[in-house]
Structure 1
Amino acid sequence: MSMLKLAFQNFQRSFKNYISLVISLAFTILIFFNFQNLIDSHIFDSLGEAVFRNVEIIIQIITIVLICFMLFFIWYATNVFLSKRKKDIGIYIFMGLTNQKIGQLYMIETTFIGLMALLFGIVSGIITAQLFQMILFKLSDISIDLQIGFSLKSVLIVSAIYFLIYLIFVCKGYINIVRSSVLEMVSASRQNEYVRQNHFILIMKTIVGMGFLCTGYYFAIKKGGMDTINNAMLAVVLVIVGVYLLFGGMIPLLFQTLAKRKTFLYKKERNLWVNNIIFRIKKNYRTYAMVSVLMLCSVTALATGFAMKERHDGIVHFRNTYTFQVMSPKKDLYKDFSELIDKNNDIEYSGEVSFLQVDSSYIDERFKNASYGFLSYSQVKQLAKDTHFTFDFTIPKDNEYIRVDRKTLMTIITDNTHETIKINHQEYQIADYTTTPYLGYMQEKTAFYMVNDTVYQQLKSIGEEFYLYNYKITNPYHFAASIQDIQGHSDCMGLIKMDPQDDELQWVRILYSLCIFMFMVFVFASGSIIFMKLYNDAFEEKERYQVLQKIGISKKTLKHSITNELRFAYAAPLLVMTISSYFSIRALANMVQTDLLMINIISVIAIIIFFTICYFLSTSIYQKNAGIKS
C-alpha cells in the first residue's frame, strides 16, 4: 500500500476527530480572505483618495494582525494534531516503518487537513464576501456601490500565505517525528502531563506574576504626557507576562493546596476533577493564558471601535457648530453679515467674539503650534450665552489661562494639570481645559487660550485683534446660497463655510465596523481554542473514564466531574480577562477622553454568553467522546 493511500485512509477514518481543527482553520482563512478582498476589490476608491489611503493603512495593519494570528493558530492546530497522532503513528514502527517514513505519512495526512481547511475557508469567503461588505458599510453608515464577486488576487495571496505558514509547521512536525524515539511516540499522550509541580516554584511564579500584573495595571491607567505611549506598551508586555505566570503559578498552586485539604477534596466529585485539573494544568495553562489575552484583545478592539465612533461624531458636530465663520479686522459688523445671510437662509443662532492673534515668537511652550489666539473671558462667556453652550468656568487669575482646545480622535497627553506656557517671558499656569466648540472650526486651526479681561488688554501690545462673526443656519445644506453675498462684503477678510456632506473622517466609521469584526474574530478564536483543546482531551481521557466505570463509579458522577472541570476551563480565563479588561479600557478611555465603562460591561457580557454556549456544547461533546454519554 502506498504512503499516499495509507495517509488518505487514516484521514477518512479519523475525520470526525479533525472537524474542530478544520472548522477553526477555515474560519481564520475566511476572515483573512474577506479583509484582503476589501483592498484588492478597490471598493473604497469612490470614497476619495484620502479616505482610501487611511482605510488601506488600517486594513493592512489588521491584515498583519490576522497573519500573526493565523501563524499562531496553525502552530497550535498542528501541535494538537501531532500530539493526537504521535501515539498512533508510533505503532507503525513495530510494523517495520522507519521514522522518516512515519514522518512522511504525518506530512501527507496533515496536508489533507490543511487543504480541506483552505478549500472550506476560500469557498466560504467567496460566498460571504458581498455579505461581509454589506454588513461593513451598513455598520459604517456609508452608501457605496457594492461589487458582486471576488478578487482572484485575494484568493492567491491568502492561499500562498496560509500554505507557506502551514508548510513551515508541517515540516517542523516531520522533524519532530524523525528525531523522536519509539518510547516517546508510544507514550506521547501522557508525556509531560500528569505531573505535580514543585510548590516553591509555584509560589515564586505566583508572586512574580502578580507583581507583573499589578505593575502592568498601574502603567495602564497612569496619566502622563509624552510617556503615555511608552507606559501603554510597557503595560501590554507586563500584563501578558503576568497572565502567563498567573496561570502557570497561582492556578496550580491554588488547586494543589485545595487537594491537600481532605475535607474539601472528598466532597461530591471533587477528587475526580480537582486532581485532573492539577495533573493537566502544566500542559493546559498556556492555553488558558493565551485565551485570556485573546479575549482581552477582543474587548479592547470593540471599545476602540465605539470610542472612535463617538469621537468621530463629536468631531463632526464640533466642526459643524457654525455654518459660517467670518473673520474681519473691524468690529460692529455682526448685523451687516446677519442681513446678508438672511437674504437666502434663516439663522438658527449666532454670536461674535474678538481674539488676539499673537506671533509664535512670543510664545514658549512644550509643544509649538503654528498659530496662537487669546480670548477674553467675558467675551467667551457672552458668546456661550448667545449660542446656548454651557459655561461654568471661574475667572482665571492673572497668571492663569484656560485652554480652549479642539477635539481629537486620540491624545497621548492624558494629564495636563501641570501644563505651563510663557507669553512674552511671563509664565502662565493652566487653570482649566475645555473642548467645547465655542469657536467651532477655528479651534482646529488655532491654539486658543482664554485669559481674564485684564490680561487680554495687556496682551494687545504683542498681538493683532480680529473679530469673528459666527452663524448657524437652519438648513446647512443650503449654505452655498449665502457664500457670494458674504464674500462680497468689503470687510470680509476670511470666510469658513462648512459643508455638512463633506466628511473627511469617513475612514473612522469604517474603522468602527472593522473593530466590531475584530471583536467577533478574537472572541470566536478564544472559544475555538478552548473548545478544540477540550474536544481532543476527551479522546485522551476515554480510557481513564472506562476504567473508572469498571470500578463502579456511576456515569452520573463522572458527568458531574466533567461539568466542573470544563466549567473551570472556561471560567478561569474569563475571570482574568474581566479584571484585566477594566484596566485596559480605562487606559483607552484616558486617551480618547470618553467614558467606556458601559462598553466594557457589554463586551464582557457578550463574551460570557458566547462562552456559556461553548461550555454546554463542549460538555455534551466531551461526554460523548469520552464514552460516558447515555
Structure 2
Amino acid sequence: MGIFAIAFSNFKNNLKVYTMYFISMVFSMIILFNFENLIYGDLIKKLDDMNAEYCSGIIRVITIILIIFMCFYIWYSSNTFLIKRKKEIGIYVFMGLDLPTIGKMYFLENILIGIFSAFIGSGMGIIFSKFFQTIILKISDYNIKSSFEINLKALIISILIFIIIFSIVTVMGFVNICMSKIVDLLKATKKQDVIPKISILSYILGIIYISIIGMGYYLSTKDMSQNIFYMVISLILIIIGTYGFFKTFVVVFLNFLIKRKSVLYNGENIITINNISYRLRKNYKVYAIVTIILASTIISLATAVSMKLTYKSVEDKSNVYTFSFISQNNINENRIRDMIENKNIDYDLTANMVHIDKGVSSNDSSIGNDAVIVKYDEAIKILKKAKEETLVEELKENNLKNNEFIKIQRNILGSIKKYEDNKINIDNKEYNIIKTFNCKFVSLDVIFFIVGNEQYDVLKEKGTNVNFYGAKLKDESNAEVLYSKLISNIDKTTIGYTYLKTMKSLRWLNFVYGIGGLLFLVFILATGSILYMKVYNDATEDKEKYDILLKIGTEKKLIKKAISKEVIITYTMPLILASIHSYFAIKMLSKMLKQINLTDIYIISIVISTILFSLLCSLSIKSFKKIINI
C-alpha cells in the first residue's frame, strides 16, 4: 500500500473520531465564505455611498479578526490531532518506515482533512448565503431584498485562505514528526505531566499577577476622556495577568488545596484536584487564550449592541421635528403648513436665535469658531415642545448670571473627550459653561448655548438673527418626497433639513449590530469547542489511569463524580474570569458612550455564554465517560 493510500485510509477512519473538529472547521469556513461574499458581492453595493463604505470597512476588519482566530484555532486543533496520532506514527517506524516518509503521510492526511473541510464548508456556505444575508439585513433594519448569489472571487479567496492556513500548520506538524524521537512517539499519549513545583517565588508571582489584573481593572475605571492611554495599558495588563493567573496563581491555589487533607480526601476531590494540577503545565496557555477570546467576544457583542442603542438614541434626539428650516430672513410658515397640509402636522414651533461667527474661541474643541445663542425664555419653550420635562424643571428658575452659559448638545456618537472647566470667549469676553446637557432640543446637529434674557439682548448685537421653524408630521411614510417638494418651493434663503437623511446615513450602526451578534455566536461556539477537544484529549490520555482505578476497586460512582467535577471546572474557570474581565471592559465602554447603559446586554451575553458552555460541558462529560467505558 502506497503512502497516499495509507493517508487516505487514515483520513476516512478519523472522520468519525474527530466529528467536533470537523464541525468546527466547516462552521468556520461557512462564516469565512459568507463574510468574503459580503465584501465582493452585490449586497453592499446596493447601499448608499456612505453606508456602503462603512459597512465594507467593518466587514473587512471583522474578516481579518476571523482569519487571525482561525490561525490559532486550526493550529490548536491540528496539534491536538497530531499528539493523538504520535503513538500510531511510532508503530509505523517499527514497520520499517522512516520519519520523513511518515511525515509525508501525515502531511497528506492533514491536507485531505483541510480540503474536505474547505469544500464542505464552502458548499454549505453557498447554500446558507441568502439566509446569512437575510438575517443581517433584518437585524440591521435595511429594506433591501437579499438574493442568492455566488461570487466566484469570494469563493476562491476563502478556500485559498483556509488551505494556506491549514498547509502552514501541517508543515509545522511535518517538521515536528521529523524531529521527534521514536521513544517519544511511542510514549506520547502516556506522558504524565508532573505537578508544578511550588516555591516562595511561585507565591510572589501569584500575588504579582493578581495585582497586575487588579491594576488593569483599576485603570479601566479611570476617565478615558482625560487619557485614552489608560485603556491600552489596562488591556495589556489584563492579558499579561490572565496568563500569569493560570500559570502561577491557580497552581498555588491548587497546591494549597492539596495540602489541606480535609479537602483533598473529601470524596472524589483527590482525583479531580490532582488531574487539574498535573495538566496545568501544558494547559495554562489554552485556558488563558480561551479566557481572552471569550472576554473579547462578550465585549464585541456589547459594542455591537451599543451601536444599536446609539442609533436609537440619535433617532430619539433627531426626530423632534420631521422638517426643520432656518433662515436669516422671515420664514413663510403658512406656505410650508399649506404644502404639508395642516391635518398632518402633529405639532410645530417657531423660535429665534443668534448666530455669532466672529471672535469665538473655546478650550472645548467641539465648539469650534462659532456659537448659536438662545435666550432662556425661548429655550424653555423649545424644551417643553421637545418633552424634556425633567430638564425644564431643573432650569425652572432663571438664575443664569451674565457670564454663564448652558451648553446643549446632541452628542450623536458619544464624544469621548470631556472638559471639566469649559469656557468660551466671545469678542474677548470670557463666559463660563456651568452645565452641559445631552438632550432633545431641535433637530439640527448644532451645539446651542442658553443665556439669560438680559445677556441675550447684549449678545444679539454681536451676531446675526436666525429664525427657526420646525414641524413634526403625524404620518412620515411619504416624508422624503414631501421634503423634496418643500425645498424646491420655499425661499432660496431658507435652509431645510430632515432627520430622515441623518438616520439613513447612520444605518451602518445597525449593520455593526447585526454582524456583531453573529460573530458573538461564532466565537462562543469556537472557544467552547476548543475546550471540548481539550477534554476529549484528556479523556483519551487518562483511559488507562481510570482502568487501573476501577481494577483496584474504586467505585464507578466516585469516578463519575470526579470526571464531572473536573470537566465543569475546565469550562467554569475561563468563563468566570472572562465574565469579570468583560464586566470592567463594558463598564468602561458605557462611560465612553455616556448615556448608554450596557448592563442588561452584559447579563444577557453572560447568560448565553453560560448556556452554550453548559451544553458543551454536558457533551464533554458524556464523551469522557464513554471513552473510559463507565
The aligned residue for residue 85 of structure 1 is 85
The aligned residue for residue 146 of structure 2 is 146
Q: Which is further off, 252-261 or 478-487? A: 478-487
**5+ long unaligned stretches in structure 1:** none
Q: Distance in 1 between matches of 2:487 and 2:95?
A: 94
Distance 1:489-1:145 versus aligned 2 partners, 3 A rule: closer
The answer to whether the Cα contact below 8 Å between 2:192 and 2:278 also exists between their aligned partners in 1 is no
Seq. identity, %? 30
Pairing 1:437–2:440 present = yes
Q: Distance in 2 between matches of 1:127 and 1:580?
A: 37
The aligned residue for residue 465 of structure 2 is 465
Q: Distance in 1 between matches of 2:20 and 2:226?
A: 46
Correspondence list, 1:471-490, <5 A:
471-479=471-479, 481=482
Q: Distance in 2 between matches of 1:291 and 1:488?
A: 62
Amino acid at match of 1:600: Y
The aligned residue for residue 546 of structure 2 is 545
Q: Distance in 1 between matches of 2:580 and 2:137?
A: 33
Q: Which is further off, 277-286 or 316-325? A: 316-325
Q: Alpha-carbon deviation of 1:198?
A: 2.9
Q: Distance in 1 between matches of 2:488 and 2:129?
A: 49
**5+ long unaligned stretches in structure 2:** none
Q: TM-score, normalised by structure 2?
A: 0.93
Q: Alpha-carbon deviation of 1:273?
A: 0.8
Amino acid at match of 2:302: A
Q: Alpha-carbon deviation of 1:87?
A: 3.0
Q: What do the CA deviations read for 1:477-504 (whole angstroms, capped 9, x no partner)? A: 4555587678766695333245479712
Q: Distance in 1 between matches of 2:247 and 2:12?
A: 37
Q: Alpha-carbon deviation of 1:225?
A: 2.4
Q: Distance in 1 between matches of 2:604 and 2:435?
A: 33
The aligned residue for residue 505 of structure 2 is 504
Distance 1:4-1:432 versus aligned 2 partners, 3 A rule: same
The answer to whether the Cα contact below 8 Å between 1:410 and 1:591 also exists between their aligned partners in 2 is yes
The aligned residue for residue 592 of structure 2 is 591
Amino acid at match of 2:16: K
SS at match of 2:439: coil
Q: Distance in 2 between matches of 1:180 and 1:397?
A: 82
SS at match of 2:468: strand
Q: Alpha-carbon deviation of 1:470?
A: 2.1
SS at match of 2:505: coil
Distance 1:398-1:576 versus aligned 2 partners, 3 A rule: farther
Distance 1:180-1:381 versus aligned 2 partners, 3 A rule: same
Q: TM-score, normalised by structure 1?
A: 0.93
The aligned residue for residue 349 of structure 1 is 347
Amino acid at match of 1:425: N
The aligned residue for residue 312 of structure 2 is 313
Amino acid at match of 2:441: Y
Distance 1:396-1:202 versus aligned 2 partners, 3 A rule: farther
Q: What do the CA deviations read for 1:141-167 (whole angstroms, capped 9, x no partner)? A: 222222224222222101111111111
The answer to whether the Cα contact below 8 Å between 1:334 and 1:352 also exists between their aligned partners in 2 is no
Q: Which is further off, 219-228 or 112-121? A: 219-228
Q: What do the CA deviations read for 1:524-547 (whole angstroms, capped 9, x no partner)? A: 111111111111211111111111
Which of 418, 421, 424 pairs up with 1:421? 424
Distance 1:486-1:519 versus aligned 2 partners, 3 A rule: closer
Report the RMSD for the aligned CA atoms in angstroms.
Answer: 2.4
The aligned residue for residue 407 of structure 1 is 411
The aligned residue for residue 363 of structure 1 is 361
Q: What do the CA deviations read for 1:201-226 (whole angstroms, capped 9, x no partner)? A: 43233222222212222222321426
Distance 1:285-1:430 versus aligned 2 partners, 3 A rule: farther
Q: Distance in 2 between matches of 1:585 and 1:250?
A: 25
Which of 602, 608, 625 pairs up with 1:606? 608
Q: Alpha-carbon deviation of 1:2?
A: 1.5
Amino acid at match of 2:624: Y
Amino acid at match of 2:101: K
SS at match of 2:128: helix
Q: Which is further off, 463-472 or 547-556? A: 463-472
Amino acid at match of 2:439: T
Distance 1:218-1:336 versus aligned 2 partners, 3 A rule: same
Q: Alpha-carbon deviation of 1:370?
A: 5.7
Distance 1:350-1:259 versus aligned 2 partners, 3 A rule: same
Amino acid at match of 1:535: Y
The answer to whether the Cα contact below 8 Å between 1:311 and 1:409 also exists between their aligned partners in 2 is yes
Distance 1:144-1:338 versus aligned 2 partners, 3 A rule: closer
The aligned residue for residue 64 of structure 2 is 64
Q: Alpha-carbon deviation of 1:569?
A: 0.5
Q: What do the CA deviations read for 1:339-358 (whole angstroms, capped 9, x no partner)? A: 54575553212223322212
The aligned residue for residue 384 of structure 1 is 383
The aligned residue for residue 618 of structure 1 is 620
Q: Distance in 1 between matches of 2:618 and 2:99?
A: 40
Correspondence list, 1:160-559, <5 A:
160-191=160-191, 193-225=193-225, 227-228=227-228, 230-329=229-328, 336=334, 340=338, 343=341, 345-359=343-357, 361-367=359-365, 369=368, 371-390=370-389, 391-394=392-395, 395-413=399-417, 415-440=418-443, 442=444, 444=445, 446-479=446-479, 481=482, 493-499=494-500, 503-559=504-560
Distance 1:339-1:548 versus aligned 2 partners, 3 A rule: closer
The answer to whether the Cα contact below 8 Å between 2:224 and 2:231 also exists between their aligned partners in 1 is no
Distance 1:84-1:215 versus aligned 2 partners, 3 A rule: same
Q: Alpha-carbon deviation of 1:123?
A: 1.8
Q: Which is further off, 423-432 or 548-557? A: 423-432
Q: What do the CA deviations read for 1:342-400 (whole angstroms, capped 9, x no partner)? A: 75553212223322212254213241626421222222012222343322444444443
Distance 1:483-1:574 versus aligned 2 partners, 3 A rule: closer
Q: Distance in 2 between matches of 1:481 and 1:276?
A: 72
The aligned residue for residue 119 of structure 1 is 119
Amino acid at match of 2:98: T
Q: Distance in 2 between matches of 1:527 and 1:617?
A: 11
SS at match of 2:511: helix
Amino acid at match of 1:405: Q
Amino acid at match of 2:523: F
The answer to whether the Cα contact below 8 Å between 1:220 and 1:235 also exists between their aligned partners in 2 is yes
Q: Distance in 1 between matches of 2:475 and 2:81?
A: 64
SS at match of 2:42: coil
Q: Distance in 2 between matches of 1:467 and 1:82?
A: 75
The answer to whether the Cα contact below 8 Å between 1:422 and 1:428 also exists between their aligned partners in 2 is yes
Amino acid at match of 2:272: W
SS at match of 1:180: coil
The aligned residue for residue 38 of structure 2 is 38
Distance 1:499-1:362 versus aligned 2 partners, 3 A rule: closer
Q: Which is further off, 26-35 or 136-145? A: 136-145
The total of aligned residue pairs comes to: 622
